[in-house]
A and B are shown apart, each in its own frame.
Chain A
């Protein structure tokens, strides 16, 4: 394939990736986790406050990288932020991952890269979590950067690639604790790739001519970059020196959490089942099996002498080891959430690119190759169709396999009602709102009520004081039972779905409710 054709096709893929990732970012209601992250970022944006919390919320990179986006889009307070501004951060990093794949051109060839990039651009799970204000897509971006830099260094060692690899590693560490799984998988995969190359050479087969000429000063530079960047971010730019130490101590917490029986324990096949085939009730069928099958072909190509070029085979071999190890690690950890698919699934996607290229090369007949080409292209387009369905038709529907503990659209009706009440209340956004709910039922209320000046949060009705002080009380169903006698019929109550099978009850003080009904009849 010539350079011009490659450039044109790659550009089209980037446009497709950007369209899926950037369109209508405010469509899905904010997830519990997104709202947590948004409030954390709000404190940094408004007051410059950030302290690494070793128990939760992962690393600081998401917050610091959100700052320029918020500034450029003119938001300087939490109240001025919106869903689009926040989700723009992972969405652009999601497009960035596709662009980063360009670093693989000398490693796997243009053809394989185009197919891999197409898979990445259209993969429903990749698109879905690129539109999610959590750390995962940033982690993916830095992971792809680290793998590319490490493999480019292996091919032609230099100060530049060593520094790049170290910087990406530092950013990964400052993004999420699960980065250590990827570090381990990359290190072991590099070692296994080297051993496989040596064994091939001993058998007299054509082997990778590139020799890793690792220089200690390069390694030191890489390590220094990684430590410096992560230190800078974890210590909040030297304001919280303990932050970096806490980042190490956090592994104790995450290690226990990963293994303990909790909300997010799923069987070891969970990720494969989610990707290969899923259907809920009478809902649509979801499958990324095409990627898995093509990745399997890529794995075969990695260990066959022909027809893959040697350099491509070596890279694919590394990806086989990395993908196998990281998939095994993530699958064996009982704690599973769908966004954890990203760090290992990227290996499958690039391997699928190599597999598709190898598959097309394996046919001598032009006609057969054309038929296979059309069939594979149709498969990729079907992935795109699913990505559209997952993100624009079923973005918060539990029948979408990537929807996980997602806030229901009905919750937005609660917020709309509170906004309507604000309009008729004499104090407007200063009306007192009491939220009495368990911590898991509280979010994403703090995000949606961010423009109200007087909102208090309690877990128990008994500690919230007399409810009649408040214009509006929002409670979970458990607290609604406790509130019943306190409200004494002086509030109008309405149910709203927070998440499937989880409700919030909106209690509106009778005088405000009457005022609201009057305003409606006057309209």
Chain B
């Protein structure tokens, strides 16, 4: 105990000496610490209470035209969907491929909190041209750790290609992603699979800025027929 006290005191004394020696050295060189005067926050009254559906884009421009090979078709419509949470809080996972993209209540599925995925079985391996996702768009939100993977292995153990990953701090444990977070809009988010051939599409998320739940209104996968 005595040794610990002596050790702590010695460290404290050393730190103090170091700090003062730095200050003395600076003074000897004709310098002093720059005292910054930073601007203070402006006091202001109550902000607007926004509590209505908002379908406007908050940032960014409308999505530009996305070109795909001739013969590309929507291949995900009414295809079977599974999920890490097969007992959703709201809705059914089948609504993810039912073609309904309305932002209103009754058109989305809510999966439990934290890291969750949904998986679409396209029934055939084929070159994927585009994956378009609407998580939730009746309110501006950012979904966290969005990771989109494709594979021919339904368990995603082998042959997995990640086509989008914005989990920049690896909080979902699928690896650090370099893609950016984005705000959900009625346009949905388009991911480019670069013609990767795959049968299964798995989409991860880890809560959102409004709550810890995970939502999907619709997922569309476009592909060209396998040759």
For A402-414 the 0/1 string (1 means CB < 8 A from B) is 0011001010000
Which residues of chain A (438-495) have a CB below 8 Å from chain B? 439-440, 442-443, 445-446, 454-459, 477, 480-481, 492-495
Which residues of chain A (32-60) have a CB below 8 Å from chain B? 32-33, 36, 39-40, 53, 56-57
- The answer to whether A456 touches B38 (Cβ under 8 A) is yes
Shortest CB-to-CB span from A440 to chain B, Å, is 4
- The answer to whether B48 touches A263 (Cβ under 8 A) is yes
For A440, list chain B residues within 8 Å (CB).
44, 47-48
B105 within 8 A of A: yes
A454 to B33, CA, bound (A): 14
A408 to B51, CA, bound (A): 12
Q: Using A33-B46, A501-B140 as known contacts, say yes or no to A477 and B58 having CB atoms under 8 A apart.
A: yes
A508 to B43, CA, bound (A): 26
Shortest CB-to-CB span from A196 to chain B, Å, is 39
- The residue that B44 contacts in the complex, of A56, A454, A477, A499, with Cβ under 8 A, is A56
- The answer to whether A404 touches B209 (Cβ under 8 A) is no
Q: Using A480-B59, A492-B168 as known contacts, say yes or no to A405 and B48 having CB atoms under 8 A apart.
A: yes
A36 to B40, CA, bound (A): 12
- The answer to whether A499 touches B41 (Cβ under 8 A) is no
B190 within 8 A of A: no
A53 to B58, CA, bound (A): 34
* Chain B residue with Cβ nearest A434: B38
- The answer to whether A500 touches B142 (Cβ under 8 A) is no
B160 within 8 A of A: no
For B182-197 the 0/1 string (1 means CB < 8 A from A) is 0100000000000000
A23 within 8 A of B: no
* Chain B residue with Cβ nearest A401: B51
For A503, list chain B residues within 8 Å (CB).
58, 140, 142, 183, 209
For A500-523 the 0/1 string (1 means CB < 8 A from B) is 111100000000000011001000
- The residue that A499 contacts in the complex, of B43, B50, B90, with Cβ under 8 A, is B50
A53 to B43, CA, bound (A): 10
A174 within 8 A of B: no
- The answer to whether A501 touches B39 (Cβ under 8 A) is no
For B140, list chain A residues within 8 Å (CB).
500-501, 503
- The answer to whether A280 touches B210 (Cβ under 8 A) is no
* Chain B residue with Cβ nearest A262: B48
Q: Could you name 25 residue pairs across A and B whose Cβ atoms are closer than 8 Å? A: A32-B46, A32-B47, A264-B46, A264-B49, A280-B51, A405-B46, A405-B47, A405-B48, A405-B49, A435-B41, A439-B44, A440-B44, A440-B47, A443-B41, A456-B36, A457-B38, A477-B59, A499-B50, A500-B50, A500-B210, A501-B54, A501-B139, A502-B50, A503-B183, A516-B169
Q: Spell out A's residues near B (CB within 8 Å).
A: 32-33, 36, 39-40, 53, 56-57, 263-264, 280-282, 337, 398, 404-405, 408, 410, 432, 435, 439-440, 442-443, 445-446, 454-459, 477, 480-481, 492-497, 499-503, 516-517, 520
Besides A503-B209, A520-B169, 15 other CB < 8 A contacts? A36-B44, A53-B43, A280-B51, A442-B44, A446-B40, A446-B41, A477-B58, A480-B59, A497-B142, A497-B210, A501-B54, A502-B50, A503-B142, A516-B169, A520-B170
Q: Which 6 A-B pairs have the closest CB atoms?
A: A456-B38, A497-B209, A440-B47, A263-B48, A495-B142, A439-B44
